[in-house]
Amino acid sequence: MKILVLSSQASNTGSALRAGYIAKYLKKAGAQVTYVRPPFVSLPFMLDFLLSLIYYFFTLTNSRYDIVFIVKPYPNTVWPALLLKKQGAKLVIDIDDLDHGYRVGFLSKVIEKIQKTLTEKADLLTSHNDALIKILESAHPKFAAKIYKLEQGVDFEVFKAEQIDNKKIGLIRQQFVGKKLLFYTAHLNIASYLDDIFEALKKIADKNVLLLVAGGGPLEKYYKKSARAKGLKDRVIFLGQLSRPEIATYIKTSDLCLVYYRDVLVNKYRASMKLREYLAMGKRVVAPAVGEINYFKKVVLLSGKNITVFAAVIKKNIYLVDKFNIKGQQLILNQYDWKKEAKEFYVFLKHKFMISPKGN
């Protein structure tokens, strides 16, 4: 079975990471997989979508696949994929967010219309969130009770606490002697809510509590300026775009890991990759009781839905001994292992489309 995997969003986004993990573990499950990595990072004015549309058209010309798997329905990937569909490929679209919910006004309506139209071109839909699946079934009746739940998994080849080099942890700690480290990783865009986390940090008076921020994105410069404006220049350390192994090392090094969602409708439909990766590493995690985070309430340090309470939970726990979160790790291992998830999905695809594992 020959499968092409594409991400509509840029290479430094969570959607591209999801696409990469799916490609990696479908290949390990036995499929012939090609992952065409997004050629650009996020660019201003969504310019990466336009440029990647041209790139994908040229890259996919004369290609043949049994299945094209796309994370997020946007023209830059779906339009080139429709050419492959005419040649017999099945189109699978993965919807990992309610994208138009992050925008307002005209742009929100445009994104909603485009995605609704493109989603109808699919032969199969997948998603990772039960609430989002219900929304999709309502908007696309022909897929009712037919959407495959493809969980947000964790790559245990990377996020495995016992394999982290203690020397690397020591080198990081040498830079922050006597400090308590909060860790937050995200694609720094409109969905990262980093300003809110800055406000929580301001409410913790102890200047020895630092925030390490891993990730890049279109709002990185804005957030650096915002940290300075809020008087947090010396307490917020921007680490930039890190590799996944580097992120795993910082997770293990830190005292507490953070997830933060505002209590707005769009966040009901998310499935946090960082939350799962933190827990896979056995870390204590502070997170608000918003959306699917409530499912993890027994293994995270759950806060209320406002910044004041979020900050209070951080302050209460940052000084405690960093005990290994074995229950959290076990939950992730049992339910969100990409190896198991992709293997089951591969079996489903073969049965669904009756394609020989050897492909053409």
- Same-domain check for residues 14 and 73: yes
358 in a structural domain: no
| 130 domain residue, yes or no | yes
* 58/207 same-domain check: no
Q: Is residue 359 domain-resident? A: no
Examine the domain organization and report whether 345 and 325 are in the same domain. no
| CATH code of the domain in which 310 resides | 3.40.50.2000
Q: Identify the helix (H) or strand (E) that includes residue 149.
A: strand 148-149
pLDDT mean over 347-352 = 96
Looking at the structure, tell me whether residues 24 and 62 fall in a common domain.
yes
- Does residue 193 share a domain with residue 50? no
As given in the structure block, the two tokens for residue 286 are 């502070």
Q: 145 lies in a domain?
A: yes
- Asked if the structure places residue 25 within a domain, the reply is yes
Distance CA 98, CA 216 (A): 22
Q: Are residues 149 and 167 in the same domain?
A: no
| Nearest alpha-carbon partner for 164 in 253, 283, 86, 225 | 253
Query: What would the mean pLDDT of 3-12 be, rounded to a whole number?
Result: 97
Q: What is the pTM of this model?
A: 0.95
Quick check: is 360 in a domain? no
What pLDDT was estimated at residue 304? 87
The verdict on 141 and 7 lying in the same domain is yes
174, exposed or middle or buried, with CB in 10 Å at 0-12, 13-18, 19+? exposed
Residue 281 included in any domain? yes
| Number of domains, the chain | 2
Q: What is the pLDDT of residues 42-65, one digit of tens each?
A: 988 889 999 999 999 999 988 999
Range of the domain at 16: 2-153+337-353
Residue 270 and residue 191 share a domain: yes
Residues contacting residue 132 through CB under 8 Å, at least 6 positions apart: 95, 97, 98, 269
State whether 346 and 324 are in the same domain.
Answer: no
φ, ψ of residue 212 to 5 degrees: the values are -100, 125
- Alpha carbon distance 251, 241 (integer Å): 14
Residue type, 230: K
Q: Is residue 191 located within the same domain as residue 290?
A: yes
Q: pLDDT tens for residues 173-193?
A: 999 999 999 999 999 998 999
User: In this predicted model, what pLDDT tens digit does every residue of 120-163 receive, in sequence order?
Assistant: 999 999 999 999 999 999 999 999 999 999 999 999 999 999 99
Residues 197 and 329 in one domain: yes
Are 312 and 318 contacting, i.e. CB atoms less than 8 angstroms apart? Answer: no
Non-local CB neighbours of 290 within 8 Å, separated by 6+ positions: 261, 262, 263, 267, 268, 305
Residue-wise pLDDT tens digits, 274-294:
999 999 999 999 999 999 999
The structure tokens 């680490």 sit at 239
Question: Do 45 and 89 have their domain in common?
Answer: yes
Domain membership of residue 262 (yes or no) is: yes
